[in-house]
Amino acid sequence: MSQVRSVLVVGASASGLATAEALRRKGFGGTLTLVGAEAETPYDRPPLSKQVLSGAWEPQRAQLRSAEALARLDAEFVLGEQAVALDADRLRVTTEAGRTLAADAVVIATGVGARLLPGQRGVRGVHAIRTLADSVALRAELVAARRVVVLGDGVLGAEAAATARQGGAEVTLAGPQPAPLTRQLGHTTAQHLAALHRDHGVKLHGGVLPEDLHTRDGRVTGVRLSDGTELEADVVITAIGSLPATGWLDGSGLTVDDGVVCDAHCRAAPGVWAVGDVARWHHRGLGRPLRLENRTNASEQALAVAADILGQGRPYTPVPYFWTDQFDTKIQVHGLVPPEAEATVVDGDAGTGRFVVRLDGPAGPECVLGWNMPKQARLRRTSLLDRYTHQPSTATALGTATATATA
């Protein structure tokens, strides 16, 4: 039985809060502290590129819990104070204010930060979307923007492009993939997504990278792409990827490699766990390390970490899952798209805008994707369980070769 009497969670977003709540639900009655770099109480990030950005939600609606619910958690929240160092041997965290916090268990839940273009900082009209403040600031500019360029064709970029277009702006979505979300959806379904965007008036530029920002008097006026295309813009949204927030762990003694490297139980070191977007753990079902950037993993991994802290843990072997809403379409993805995937429509009809696709690799089904058919996709998910929950090895493989999946 665990002898943990105090837990310190570094990161007060979805995964950090979910870990704290899971500990309480499982009967943990000790001291609980959450440290967050932002002054905001915990909020949800998926709405930032959709409901908050569109203005359909007031920003406060993105808050994950009410003040009363947070009070019932009986935890100390140290907000607006960034962690700057971890002593993993002594389980002590130092904050930018010089505060030192110690606990029997430390959970790293610092997430990721937005990757920025060279020279992007300080240029008016150029926005990333990572925080609630980012979304609010971008919303204020989109209201009057006529021409919007979105750089990055992953989930965040495609969602932002759809939101901006629905707001009435002329929108161009540019990125390195042949079609938006090709890596996350596979070639066939990504082509359907490309058609959806074009049907709604979004202009697509695939197979390109941003090369330069054009500015006048400190404000963006356009973008040059790697193929020589010049695009005029009142607003530029950058969604070119993310970086795990691990800089503060320099000198901690932890292994950091595209995230905090953990074993199959999400342990980074004795008494130290990682959870959410920042955690790169050994997935025993796949037999390799994995890092996932999505809301579902933040919640599910938090449950696994809380159980392990309390001595009730087992290897974390989820079937990865994410969803995205764009225009009038809801897409759910169970599993990971294999290279050279063979796609088969197993329910519905792509021509009607409601279908389920199974994506097979050499060993069989690896991904199930639903396009406006959430129930059917969830039922088809059962075909993936052997692939992801089978554990070919008992090795924890700290520091094993890389294989990161993000969404």
% the chain with pLDDT above 90: 93
Q: Which amino acid, 219?
A: R
Asked whether the predicted pLDDT for residue 70 surpasses 60, the reply is: yes
Q: Is residue 323 part of a domain?
A: no
Q: Decide if pLDDT at 406 tops 50.
A: no
180 and 75 in a single domain? The answer is no
Q: Are residues 120 and 180 in the same domain?
A: yes
Neighbours of 375 (CB within 10 A): 11
Q: Are 302 and 339 in the same domain?
A: no
**Measured between alpha carbons, how far is 218 from 297 in angstroms, rounded to an integer?**
39
Contact 171, 163 (CB under 8 A): no
Domain boundary among 251, 282, 309: 309
Decide if 53 is inside a domain: yes
pLDDT at 47: 97
C-beta of residue 404 within 8 angstroms of C-beta of residue 289: yes
Q: Between β-strands 342-349 and 354-361, what pairing exists: parallel, antiparallel or unpaired?
A: antiparallel
Domain hosting 376: range is: 328-389
What pLDDT sits at residue 407? 36
In a domain, 232, yes or no: yes
Based on the domain organization, do 199 and 291 belong to the same domain?
A: no
Residue 399 banded pLDDT, cuts 50, 70, 90: very low
Residue 140 amino acid letter? A
Q: Residue 317's Cα: distance from chain center in Å?
A: 18
Please check whether residues 62 and 205 belong to one and the same domain. no
Average pLDDT, the chain: 94
- Residue 61: inside a domain: yes
CATH number at 356 reads 3.30.390.30
Q: Specify if 233 maps to a domain.
A: yes
pLDDT digit string, tens, across residues 375-386? 999 999 999 999
Predicted confidence at residue 111, as pLDDT, reads 97
Q: Nearest to residue 242, comparing CAs of 144, 399, 347, 114?
A: 114
In this structure, the number of other CB atoms found within 10 A of the CB of residue 59 comes to: 18
The confidence band for 395, taking pLDDT boundaries of 50, 70 and 90, is very low
pLDDT score recorded for residue 394: 39
Judge whether 209 lies within some domain.
yes
166 in the same domain as 233: yes
CATH code at position 289 = 3.50.50.60
Q: What are the residues facing 290 on neighbouring strands?
A: 281
pLDDT at 391: 56
Verify that 106 and 247 share a domain, yes or no: yes
- CA-to-CA separations, 156 to 108, 122, 238, 321, in angstroms, rounded: 24, 22, 9, 16
Residue 393 has pLDDT above 70, yes or no: no
Q: Which amino acid is at 101?
A: L
For the stretch 131-184, pLDDT in tens is: 999 999 999 999 999 999 999 999 999 999 999 999 999 999 999 999 999 999
Examine residue 362 and state whether it is found in any structural domain, yes or no: yes
In the prediction, which pLDDT does 110 show?
98
pLDDT of residue 89: 97
CA distance 378 to 384: 11
Among residues 205, 240, 275, the one where a domain terminates is 240
What whole-number distance in Å separates Cα of residue 63 and Cα of residue 71? Answer: 14
The tally of domains found in the chain comes to 3
Claim to verify: residue 223 and residue 367 sit in the same structural domain = no
Q: Are 209 and 168 in the same domain?
A: yes
Banded model confidence at residue 339, pLDDT cuts 50, 70, 90: confident
Kindly indicate the confidence band of residue 389, based on its pLDDT and cuts at 50, 70 and 90: confident
Residues 54 and 86 in one domain: yes
Q: What is the mean pLDDT of residues 74-85?
A: 98
Query: What pLDDT sits at residue 311?
Result: 96
Using DSSP's 3-state secondary structure scheme, residue 140 falls into: helix
Q: Read off the pLDDT band of 2 (50, 70, 90).
A: confident
Run of H or E residues at 22:
helix 14-25
Residues 261 and 364 reside in one and the same domain: no
The span from the first CA to the last CA of the chain, in angstroms, equals 36
- Examine residue 322 and state whether it is found in any structural domain, yes or no: no
Higher pLDDT, 303 or 393: 303
Tell me: the pLDDT tens digits for 8-48? 999 999 999 999 999 999 999 999 999 999 999 999 999 99
- Tell me which of 309, 340, 361 is where a domain ends: 309
Do 382 and 285 sit in the same domain of this protein?
A: no
At 262, which helix (H) or strand (E)? strand 260-262
